[in-house]
Structure 1
């Protein structure tokens, strides 16, 4: 059997696009299976294979490098038939069930009828290693001798190459080191670092080569045979926790012990969070998957837990994404917010660096560890090119204090908050007009630096691109909320003069914002001000963030809510990023007409803030109905903005990340919006403000809600036309208040 893999060479040539994700195939069409632990993640096809090819996202990735680009399983020379494929509910393991097709000899004679051999592949990640167990069972009435082959390849491509960026030059591959049960594949990059993929097998294969392992197994009728494999990513740095002794334990022992550790670690991290149960079984599946996805994406850092943005393209520490994710999950698990705030404080910019778009006090946008980032071929080694992460940092810090009363943590964060506020006033306001603008410092930086960072996402009513520096609508809203949050923190820390000054600055911004951004004829706040202070008179979802932060004047709220929920903006699944009437509307675009769950969750919080609970519930209902049609009930990063049609599901975006942290946290935020859930740690009170339930729910039960040392389980039930809370269990001094 030929064990070689005919895999294409990584593409070289001129760089195309600005770090865009190439769209040569649809992730939704392939429905890949994803695992992640720490700085390692894997994208498999539904059979558990990694299939190489131009544009394939498959692979085992570690710290932004693909350590295994191909892995496929053959039984007697044929690819098995897929029976089923599913991750565990907690995402700790992927299980793929396969069987044999009809197998013929060289003369065409049938030698093995289909569905007689069952193969179960069990995979998980732990400490930079992918573990796999192959269980082969014979359901024939006679013994079978089977040939089982695993073919593999490692291209050591940088993640940005996998995403579509072409390189002019690459490093050097080393000859494979082949032993009796081990193969080592190695590559030294242009950054001088040697990266190795170490594959081990148990039992030792009958034949082992640089590109494959062949096992000859004898299986009795009703019998079984087991093969273990591990693939370890060695980046030349100290291992994350892998064994370092000269004679490691047998693979079967390592498989079992590591599996137990991986499951325990997930349970430990997720056990801190409140749990959600409802009267709708389908929504229960969806919210369990979202919570499992969120904690799979969490990576432990020296500063605490930090949710990476999403797989496959954004499995890294992003500032904006983590801040919004932690905010949406704050009511359920404040430890995420604490970890995010402390990590970003530790990585706050201290000096100017044009290549990194860094300025003193600015909050991190993105960290990458791959070869291209190390070499500066992409600017993201430690990159600060986002205009909104800095005010969002201050906003989250204030919300964390309000949720927890943890003054000690805020004492440590206060100098970083002050540095962020100085950045907002000194560097963020580039022209002294009182608004925060962005503009990249070099041609290599991101052109647009808000959350809609596509090159064509900020435009005028006629479709012309806005030229910078650009003051985004939602960024001014975040700055307003940041100054109010900082004022509250300053008051708690015994700084009354600073608190009064920040409140005054926030109120002044609120008035100026309304004068500069409100479009009476459109019933919304404009998208942005360009470098010439011309307003981008575009109806967009960004305006909904003005409701979220409270910068919208009360007299504008009803009109803005009506605009957001108009059929040109609300697709039936959610609010589109831009309305269908706008010049650049395209429901299949990344930012100009699509629907993003996190965007909608923040809008729902804003609608609820101004009393539009029924509108918030409509958004909740739309995203839930979308999840019914989505594989694993997993909300993706985004989907297309086509109108909802009766009896049909949403249209998927081809390269949307799934799981994605802020999409996973969105149902938690939507629950908070509809219930008006709030906490007062000083009085140990949980408040519900005019709670409503969406039509698909008659009851929500929140378990393990924590305020200070108190805990309770709370049921919120529909009773006729009213919604009422019921305490099911209480530990400690904690009470519930409801505003009707």
Structure 2
């Protein structure tokens, strides 16, 4: 089944509209939501640890389907009082502390706050585990009734986000054992999905949507109830004993981060921000047959996204290069090999997004394997070159070389169909995303008068990515002995740079234009896109300084970060998704660009804004984005209602900017760790980096700020790597 042209018309706008319609009913900032993720499953819970409303993002999801849409705990038929709800530092588990309201029953009055209940929850290999512990703090025996109310609607993630479907598959449920209920769904895609809910001990009463326990507790007495929810799509998930599964989950988390570089500073608040960012990145990392891959974000994007994974790997490269290797190898396994207009695929193109839910399987949304991003392909080549520079892993690059060459061919052929030297995009089908850069809302690319840019669009930042991709590819080609190819690529990159400066620079704006439309007319809009020209290195030094000044002006910089669109532009809206909001990953790429042009103070200013934003957020976490309102004393940034949190490229942004400010470079070919003109933001006096690796060597460093100067000490060195501080 695929979409006919009428049904698919304007699907991109419908999906985009659904994102905004969700603000009313499914705002992620309306109350404190908690989430956990492991592999292909994630769960979103309210502050009580319940899944309480089918009209929100709450639920247990597996492979883009909600396998559990309701899970509510009741005590004597009443909702419990919340004491505390927090996730563990490593995001391995969630702990929710609760107590009873005052209860009147046949035994008289049970005073409030005399029964303590703790819910410990975690995910492991497709199974959701919960332990409910109870303790009686009264001085008398108590008989207690505990109810779990539950349900499974098997809604596709895009239905949860707001898209309506005329037809759905068949749902059934059954009590399969005294301690077990199963919900089954036969989808229209022919896939059977099953949710199996089991309890221990055996409930007193068990119905299709309710389990009731009757407990007796002596004074000071304790007891526990265990719950497991297993998601099945194909192979049955293996359910373990709670404690065995918990230990295995914690071991798996520790193994993930065992060999990474670590950060500790003189600022306890920054340590909290860095700790949260680390745990978020590694919670989102998912094991694939080709290595580790950071899924984009919870709840809407818990899957493989090409652009998001690549940029996350770039920001994390100095800390953990294995992420880059996993991203590169995973994306090569899904690189397009043929032309398919329905998925915007052409040979050599790198994936934009992969979905595995019922609607994607049926073609009701075009994202089963969807290639509608113009920048993932050059970014892929950039990452390969950066990875080789940092690690010297020539074996992996040799493995990837045919895919790198295919990506280069895509840039020159399908990416540049009119042969003007610029890589452009245009929607291939009615179901395609209208805009295919990272700002992919339907209204995000426009002219100075607010009219849409039409035709084949050449984005400012994409030309920079292509420039950098060809330069990195030239270096890789030379390493592999393809010297003629290396020369051709260097010449092509330089030719692109010269033409880019002529066509994209706008003297009156003091920055690069956002894009050229299909008629080669410039989109004369001050935007954050221009900052990526510094990230890629295509900008001239003089123009780089002008871009930085424009981005950090009052119109561009809110005090929390650089806006996607400058204040005063035709479509500027600080509450929009892409037209005036602030994205941490966007700011990180720009700050890295500043640092590459020795604009370190400017990079530090961006870092300070994002740090101040993070320290005011719940859990010290940078979300996917936040609103672009001007910073006001005594107030934090305004949240964006449906921003994903955590989001991989937002979490990793902290480390990308930190490495840039410190000028940290791992030059494998010289066996050298460098700190080039290190700068530290004002909120840090001292920072300690441990286990910074180069080849088989590693080192630990202490860096201390004295005013505008930074002193660097080597605390320990393992191996023969050289350390070089460039002043």
Which bracket does the TM-score occupy, shorter chain normalised? over 0.9
User: Which residue of 1 is the match for residue 208 of structure 2?
Assistant: 210
What is residue 121 of structure 1 aligned with on the other side?
Answer: 119
SS at match of 2:690: strand
2:175·2:207 contact (CA, 8 Å) conserved in 1?
A: no
Equivalent pair of 1:310/1:657 in contact (CA under 8 Å): yes
Match of 1:596 in 2: 583
Alignment of 1:119-198 (within 5 A): 119-198=117-196
1:405-416 equivalences in 2 (<5 Å) = 405-416=392-403
Residues 1-23 of structure 1 show CA distances to partners (whole Å, capped at 9, x for unaligned) of xxxxxxxxxxxxx9881354222
TM-score scaled to structure 2, two decimals?
0.97
CA displacement 1:191-223 (0-9 Å, x = unmatched): 111111000000000000100100000111111
Residue 31 of structure 1 corresponds to: 32
- Contact kept in structure 2, 1:178 and 1:208, CA below 8 Å: no
Give the corresponding residue for 1:8. none
DSSP 3-state at the match of 2:197: strand
Note the C-alpha offset of 1:647: 1.5
Provide the rounded CA distance (Å) in 1 between the counterparts of 2:676 and 2:493: 25
Match of 1:313 in 2: 300
Alpha-carbon distance in structure 1 between the residues aligned to 2:501 and 2:407: 24
Give the match for residue 571 of structure 1: 558
Q: Quick one: distance in 2 between partners of 1:720 and 1:657?
A: 37
Q: Does 1:384 align with 2:371?
A: yes
Partner of 2:613: 626
SS in 2 for 1:290: helix
| SS in structure 1 at match of 2:98 | strand
Contact preservation (8 Å) 1:138, 1:223: yes
Q: Distance in 1 between matches of 2:33 and 2:418?
A: 47
Q: Take 1:256 and 1:53, find their aligned partners in 2: how far apart are those partners?
A: 30
Instruction: Provide the rounded CA distance (Å) in 2 between the counterparts of 1:716 and 1:44.
Output: 41
Is 1:230 matched with 2:228?
Answer: yes
C-alpha separation in 2, matches of 1:86 and 1:35 = 11
Map of 1:72 onto structure 2: 72
Structure 1 residue 683 displacement after superposition: 2.8
**Offset, 1:39:** 0.3
1:680 Cα deviation from its structure 2 partner = 1.4
1:153-180, Cα deviation, whole Å (9 max, x unpaired)? 1000000000111111111112423420
Q: What is the alpha-carbon root mean square deviation over aligned residues? A: 1.3
Residue 17 of structure 1 corresponds to 14
Distance 1:110 1:614 in 2: 68
Aligned length: 713
Offset from partner CA, 1:502-530 (integer Å, 9 cap, x none): 00000000011111111100000000111
Q: Hey, what does 2:3 align to over in structure 1?
A: none
Counterpart CA distance in 2 for 1:560 and 1:612 is 11
- What aligned pairs does 1:412-451 form with structure 2 within 5 A after superposition? 412-451=399-438
**1:355–1:441 CA contact under 8 A, matched in 2:** yes
Which secondary structure state, in structure 1, belongs to the residue aligned with residue 147 of structure 2?
A: strand
Unaligned runs of 5+ in 2: 1-9
Instruction: Provide the rounded CA distance (Å) in 1 between the counterparts of 2:145 and 2:152.
Output: 23
SS for the counterpart of 1:682 is helix
| Contact 1:385–1:449 (8 Å) recurs in 2 | yes
3-state DSSP class of the match of 1:233? strand
1:84 counterpart = 2:112: no
Alpha-carbon distance, 1:239 to partner = 4.0
For 1:52-67, list aligned pairs within 5 A.
Answer: 52-54=53-55, 56-67=56-67
SS at match of 1:428: coil
SS at match of 2:313: helix
TM-superposed deviation, 1:720: 4.4
Give the equivalent residue in structure 1 for 2:480: 493
SS at 2:692's partner residue?
A: strand
Q: Which residue of 2 aligns with 1:539?
A: 526
The 8 Å contact of residues 679 and 708 in structure 2, kept in 1 or not, is answered as: no
Partner of 2:6: none
How far the C-alpha of 1:90 sits from its partner, in A, is 0.2
In 2, distance between residues paired with 1:430 and 1:289?
44
Judge conservation of contact 2:64–2:355 (CA < 8 Å) in 1. Answer: yes
Deviation at 1:722, TM superposition (A): 1.5
Matches of 1:737 and 1:238 in 2, distance apart? Answer: 53
Q: Which runs of 5+ in 1 are unaligned?
A: 1-13, 244-248
1:387-429 alpha-carbon deviations (Å, 9 max, x no partner): 0000000000000000001111100111100000000000001
1:635 matched residue in structure 2: 622
1:471 counterpart residue number: 458
Whether contact under 8 Å (2:389, 2:669) holds in the other structure is no
Aligned to 2:386: 399
Distance in 1 (CA, whole Å) between partners of 2:708 and 2:49 is: 49
Are 2:373 and 2:437, in contact at CA under 8 Å, matched by a contact in 1? yes
